[in-house]
Structure formats: C-alpha cells, structure tokens
Amino acid sequence: MSDIEVRHLSKSFDLKGVKVEALKDINLSIKPGDIYGIIGMSGAGKSTLVRCLNFLERPTEGEVLVGGKDLSTLTEKELRKQRQEIAMIFQHFNLLMQKNVIDNICFPLLLRGEKKADARRRAMELLKLVDLEEKANAYPSQLSGGQKQRVAIARALASDPKILLCDEATSALDPQTTASILALLKDINEKFGITIVIITHQMAVIREICKHVAILNHGVLVEEGEVEEIFNHPKSEAARELILGDISENQWNGETRQKERVLEDKCLRIVFTENSAFEPVIANMILKFGVPVNILKADTKNVGGIAKGEMILGLPEGHELQEQIKAYMVEKGLEIEEVTQYV
C-alpha cells in the first residue's frame, strides 16, 4: 500500500476570468517510509501539488489517497483529523515570533487539548532530537536560519505525523546549513519511518536525500523514478536541464568565450560507476584513438549516499570517430548521454 496515491490530479485557477492550469493529470505513488522528491523550476506547480496532498488546495479533478483514504470523501472534521498525520514545514519557518522556542513547539499540542506539563515534556524530547535543548527559552529572533528550521521540524513532529511535507524547506539556508537540515531529516526518516516529501528546485537536495523523484515542468509530470536512475539516464529535457544546471560557474574550465564555443561542439555527459571509477578510461581512450578530448567539466556528486563521478566532454570532429569513442566508453562501463543542445 502507498502512503500517498495521486490519480489523474489536475488543478486550475481562475485569474480575472482567465483559466490557468497549474497541474495537469498528475499520477504518482509514494510508498510508506520513502523520501520522495518533487522538483521543478519556478512555476512548475510544485507548491500547488504539495498543498493538494493534504487538501489545503482542493484538486479541480482527480483523487488524492492518503493511507488508502480518499481525501475528497472526508468531511471537514475528518479532514482536520487526517491532517494531524500530515505535518508540513516551510521555507520561511512560520514560527510564532512572540513565543519562545518551547512554547512554539507546545502550541499544536495545547491546541489538541494536551496538558501543559505533558506538552512541555514532549517539546523538550523533540528539542533534544533536533539538538536545540539549550535554546528552549530563546525567541525566534535570537536564532539562526538553521536553528529556526530545526524548531519548525520539532513543532511539526509534535503531533507524531506519519507524513512530513517539506515545501522548499532549505531554500533560504546556506549550503552548510542545508546539509545539516537534510541530515536531520534523513535521521528522522530512519528512526521513525516517517514518509518525507521534499519540494525543491535544487537538484543537489534531491541527490543528497531522496530515494525517488518526480520532475514537474509547467504543471506536467515529465519524469518519475529512482533518483540514481534519473541521474544516470535522464529521459526528459527538464531532467537534463536540472541535472546539468547543477553546475556552478567555477566548475567550468575557461571563461564565457569557451562556453560559447562549446555550443558548436558535440558534447557528452558521462557518469562513472563504481567499476569504472578505478580505471583511467579517458586517458586510455586518448591513447587508443590518438586524438585530444576536451574535458569541459568534471565533478563528483553525492547521489543517495554514493559518490558519482561526472564529466562533460567535448568530442573531436568526425561522426565515425565520435561513434567509436562513444562505443568505447560504453564498453568500459560508463553511462553516456549527448548534451550538445543544452550545453
């Protein structure tokens, strides 16, 4: 059984008499205990989709089943109860600025009718979990961004949810803090088996923590599957853009002039597997064919805890020679993909 099943979901809005289709016929299945990523650029429909998962937005068409329950069949009272099992954290933390840390965490517990002493005891347990015990009496204005997000995570866990929705939860954080928050979420997933859905536009976040990913583009689900498989073999143009866009400017050899020249070359993206990483494949290839190959970019990325080597090569001219080089790399166990049009 899936924790979340989305069937033929569409969502449209009426903006000043103009119909805007935010989501179009989305189908996906999220298994219990998974860390599932939903990624796309701005305007792809990610946040609309995550709000449909707990019916903060009601789909125009289609179904959302959570734990086998069709949310559209629930009364408002039943829906409120169901939402207690679906917690949510946000990009801007949404903490109560006039309350201190422990009172922020106690707040949802007190709303549920728990005694204050029990709520505070539970809040301290959660602060220990997120490594913020010493900040119990601090106010949000006294915390860093990462500390605020840890408080938001503790508050979200207060209701013992089965599902945690994270809507751009690391977008406002620096890379080091992002890594610590992702490590915390991964630890929570492993300790408690909570299903986590990550909404992001950052491929690095997907690579670091997610097991499966859905890629949205203009409201359409264009690709879905295991993160490692999509990283190795992206099928859609949107997936290729997200993977290749995960390249910082200082990873390119040369200035803008060289990158403009690359547009005219045939380029290949190659991914090293564990078996191929220990052999000097590129050096051997150059020796074998006796021609230079331009290494435009080389990097190592963490994909689900596994280091993956990645390169973009500019191949020499000549179709027959290019095909021979490609066949050689495949023979040596490299994953290859032409990226000429994008690069």
**Residue 279: predicted pLDDT:** 66
Could you give the CA distance from residue 90 to residue 73 in angstroms, rounded to a whole number?
27
The answer to whether 166 touches 89, Cβ cutoff 8 Å, is yes
218-233 pLDDT, tens digit per residue, is: 999 999 999 988 888 8
**Residue 234: predicted pLDDT:** 85
**Residue 1: predicted pLDDT:** 53
Reference 219, options 74, 98, 60, 68; nearest CA is 60
Could you give the CA distance from residue 152 to residue 138 in angstroms, rounded to a whole number?
14
**Residue 343: predicted pLDDT:** 43
**Which ranges in the chain are annotated with CATH 3.30.70.260?**
247-338
**Residue 249: predicted pLDDT:** 36
Reference 198, options 90, 41, 48, 37; nearest CA is 37
**Residue 170: predicted pLDDT:** 87
**Which ranges in the chain are annotated with CATH 3.40.50.300?**
4-234
Q: For residue 192, what pLDDT band results from cuts at 50, 70 and 90?
A: very high
Could you give the CA distance from residue 101 to residue 91 in angstroms, rounded to a whole number?
18
74-110 pLDDT, tens digit per residue, is: 999 999 888 889 999 988 888 999 999 999 999 989 9
Mean pLDDT of 138-155: 93
208-221 pLDDT, tens digit per residue, is: 899 999 999 999 99
Mean of the per-residue pLDDT values of the chain? 84
Superfamily (CATH) of domain 247-338: ACT domain (3.30.70.260)
Indicate the pTM of the whole model. Answer: 0.76
**Residue 86: predicted pLDDT:** 92
239-290 pLDDT, tens digit per residue, is: 888 877 665 433 434 433 344 444 435 787 887 766 555 567 777 888 788 7
11-32 pLDDT, tens digit per residue, is: 998 888 888 899 999 999 999 9
Could you give the CA distance from residue 232 to residue 308 in angstroms, rounded to a whole number?
9
The answer to whether 100 touches 143, Cβ cutoff 8 Å, is no
**Residue 337: predicted pLDDT:** 78
Range from 53-62, 136-145, 283-292 carrying the lowest mean pLDDT: 283-292
> How many H-runs (helices) and E-runs (strands) does the chain carry?
12, 14
Could you give the CA distance from residue 91 to residue 283 in angstroms, rounded to a whole number?
45
Where does 4-234 sit in CATH, by number? Answer: 3.40.50.300
Q: For residue 193, what pLDDT band results from cuts at 50, 70 and 90?
A: very high
Mean pLDDT of 137-159: 93
The answer to whether 198 touches 166, Cβ cutoff 8 Å, is yes
Ordered alpha helix ranges (H), the chain: 46-53, 76-83, 101-111, 116-129, 145-157, 175-192, 203-209, 227-232, 237-244, 256-262, 281-289, 319-331
